[in-house]
């Protein structure tokens, strides 16, 4: 009981005053603290979480939940935005104290789309793109990675995806390419495609640049998004793996349930995940 009380305290404090729903469940398995360190784990938000909302509304929600890192989705700042539009948007983020650390997910089906993605990232002021290049464009994307000295983190999208269902499908395509060609592992889609996310984190650590953090209600293709901590993903083991590999990237929460009214679920998810992080350092 005392351990659970500490966990909930960490979760609530992690929300910086945001609305928060009580945590439903917590794994009984203990993390092997002898194998982990206090290496900091950074929390962000994936922009697709706010797909039903404007840029200003998205900023307001991020301020309420106390998360300051964002993977910018082109829903909120289109790829063809003018320099003036980009400057206005980036000023808003800066004034709100929000750090844009990458852009994406950006789909790349033509060479022109690859070119546009890299120019967009440059104008926004980031050096990483979360993207999905078609197979025939991977080598061209690698050329752009070298030209711009950017990272490209290829995103896996689960068993329905014809290109990159699981993290291993990304790795097989990039393992012999420039080391700046890597992956953004979506842990929910990873488990839906049959790969334990904690194992993928360890197996592909040298190419792991970014993470999309979510929970699902079933470890199968039919699994649906749910509040973090209510589903089947073992977040204690995910965090343990991150600490083992000394992961230096971002853990961006992507909340895909109740997307027209996501704030309560986002708040619960952020609190639970921050609570797991805090609990793993004790």
Question: What tens digit of pLDDT does each residue of 130-185 get?
Answer: 999 999 999 999 999 999 999 999 999 999 999 999 999 999 999 999 999 999 99
Contacts 24+ apart (CB under 8 A), 4-11: 6/279, 6/282, 7/275, 7/276, 7/279, 8/275, 10/274, 10/275, 10/278, 10/279, 11/271, 11/272, 11/274, 11/275, 11/278
Q: Quote the pLDDT of residue 2.
A: 38
The answer, yes or no, to whether residue 32 has pLDDT greater than 60, is no
Tens digits of residue pLDDT in 114-128 = 999 999 999 999 999
Whole-angstrom Cα distance, residue 215 to residue 253? 10
Q: Which residue has the tokens 């979480």?
A: 49
CA angle 136, 137, 141 (to 5 degrees): 155
The whole-model pTM stands at 0.87
- Write the CA distances from 7 to 21, 56, 235, integer angstroms: 14, 32, 13
Is residue 247 over pLDDT 60? yes
How far is residue 1 CA from its own chain's centroid?
31
Q: Give the burial class of 2: count Cβ atoms within 10 A of its Cβ; 0-12 exposed, 13-18 middle, 19 or more buried.
A: exposed
Residues 6 or more apart in contact with residue 95 via CB below 8 angstroms: none
* pLDDT tens digits, 179-212: 999 999 999 999 999 999 999 999 999 999 999 9
Q: The tokens of 82 are what?
A: 């003018």
Cα-based distances in Å from 112 to 119, 153, 201, 234, 273: 11, 18, 32, 40, 38
> Strand, coil or helix: what is 134?
coil
pLDDT-derived band of residue 108, with 50, 70 and 90 as boundaries? very high
Q: To the nearest whole number, what is the mean pLDDT of the chain?
A: 90
**Cα 82 from Cα 65, distance rounded (Å):** 30
Query: CATH no. for residue 153?
Result: 3.20.20.150
- For residue 39, name the pLDDT band (cuts at 50, 70, 90): low
The answer, yes or no, to whether residue 4 has pLDDT greater than 50, is: no
DSSP state of 135: G
CB atoms within 10 A of CB 198: 22
Sign, CA torsion 193/196/197/199:
negative
Alpha-carbon span 161 to 168, nearest angstrom: 13
Q: Which domain holds residue 270?
A: 2-279
Q: What share of the chain is helix, strand, coil (3-state, %, to 5)?
A: 45, 20, 40
Percentage of residues of the chain with pLDDT beyond 90: 84
pLDDT tens digits, 53-103: 999 999 999 999 999 999 999 999 999 999 999 999 999 999 999 999 999
Q: E strands of 202-279, at which residues?
A: 208-213, 215-216, 225-226, 250-253
Number of domains in the chain: 1
| Alpha-carbon span 226 to 83, nearest angstrom | 38
Write out the DSSP string of 25-86.
Answer: ----SPP-GGG------EEEEEGGGGTTS-HHHHHHHHHHHT--EEEE-TTTS-TT--HHHH
Residue 18 has pLDDT above 50, yes or no: no
């Amino acid at each position: 009981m005392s351990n659970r009380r500490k966990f909930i305290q960490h979760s609530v404090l992690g929300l910086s005053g945001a609305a928060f729903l009580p945590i439903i469940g917590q794994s009984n398995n203990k993390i092997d603290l002898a194998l982990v360190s206090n290496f900091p784990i950074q929390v962000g938000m994936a922009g697709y979480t706010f797909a039903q909302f404007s840029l200003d509304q998205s900023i307001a929600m991020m301020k309420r939940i106390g998360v300051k890192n964002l993977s910018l989705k082109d829903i909120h700042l289109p790829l063809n935005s003018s320099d003036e539009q980009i400057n206005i948007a980036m000023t808003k983020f800066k004034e709100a104290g929000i750090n844009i650390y990458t852009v994406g997910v950006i789909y790349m089906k033509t060479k022109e789309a690859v070119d546009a993605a890299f120019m967009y990232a440059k104008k926004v002021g980031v050096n990483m793109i979360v993207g999905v290049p078609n197979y025939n464009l991977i080598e061209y994307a690698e050329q752009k990675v070298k030209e711009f000295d950017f990272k490209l983190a290829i995103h896996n999208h689960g068993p329905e995806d014809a290109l990159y269902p699981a993290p291993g499908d990304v790795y097989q395509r990039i393992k012999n390419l420039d080391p700046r060609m890597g992956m953004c592992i979506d842990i929910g889609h990873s488990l839906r495609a049959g790969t334990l996310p904690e194992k993928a984190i360890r197996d592909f650590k040298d190419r792991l640049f970014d993470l999309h953090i979510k929970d699902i209600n079933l470890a199968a293709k039919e699994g649906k998004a749910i509040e973090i901590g209510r589903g089947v993903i073992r977040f204690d083991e995910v965090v343990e793996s991150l600490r083992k590999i000394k992961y230096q990237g971002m853990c961006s929460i992507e909340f895909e349930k109740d997307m027209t009214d996501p704030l309560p679920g986002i708040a619960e998810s952020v609190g639970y995940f921050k609570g797991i992080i805090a609990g793993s350092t004790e």
